[in-house]
Structure 1
Amino acid sequence: MNPFEMVIGIVLIVSIAGVLRARYRAQNGILEDEDGNQFRADSGEAKALQTEVKQLKERIAVLERVITDDRGSRELAREIEDLRKD
């Protein structure tokens, strides 16, 4: 076996192991945050994160709507003030 075949074999083994690991975690409801901490999908922390993501998506949608509307600057300033009151 030459060195190139060995490298291809190692890359193939590592790739298959990564796919199997991700599949196992998905089946068992194990999630991982950006810091590498693992937690179960049914935990309270996961539900809190899902709620936060939903709220952030709603805020982004509002910001996109406000920015892309073809309205005057006064109306835009009024809408921003209305959003601050919420």
Structure 2
Amino acid sequence: MPWSVAFMVIAIVLITAIARTSKERYRAMGRAGAEQAAPTELIASRDEVRQLKERVAVLERLITDNHGSVDLSRQIEELRDR
């Protein structure tokens, strides 16, 4: 009988230790994901996204509109200059 009690105590301690370790790992992963980018990086990223959206809009217009080759060349050159 004493061995079964000792085994149960060891099992409870082991389960508690595993649960606590898992909980701390989960919290650490949450903290790492919660870190935000620096404001300058955020501004640069937003500016880059804005520029890319403008370029995509121009490319969509080029594909869907039936303009002459001169107009097409001008718009392509405008994209290259950016």
TM-score category, normalised to shorter length:
0.3 to 0.5
**Structure that is richer in helix per residue:** 2
TM-score norm. by structure 2 comes to 0.43
Report which structure shows greater RCO (CA 8 Å, sep ≥6).
2
TM-score norm. by structure 1 comes to 0.42
Name the larger-Rg structure: 2
**Structure that is richer in strand per residue:** 1
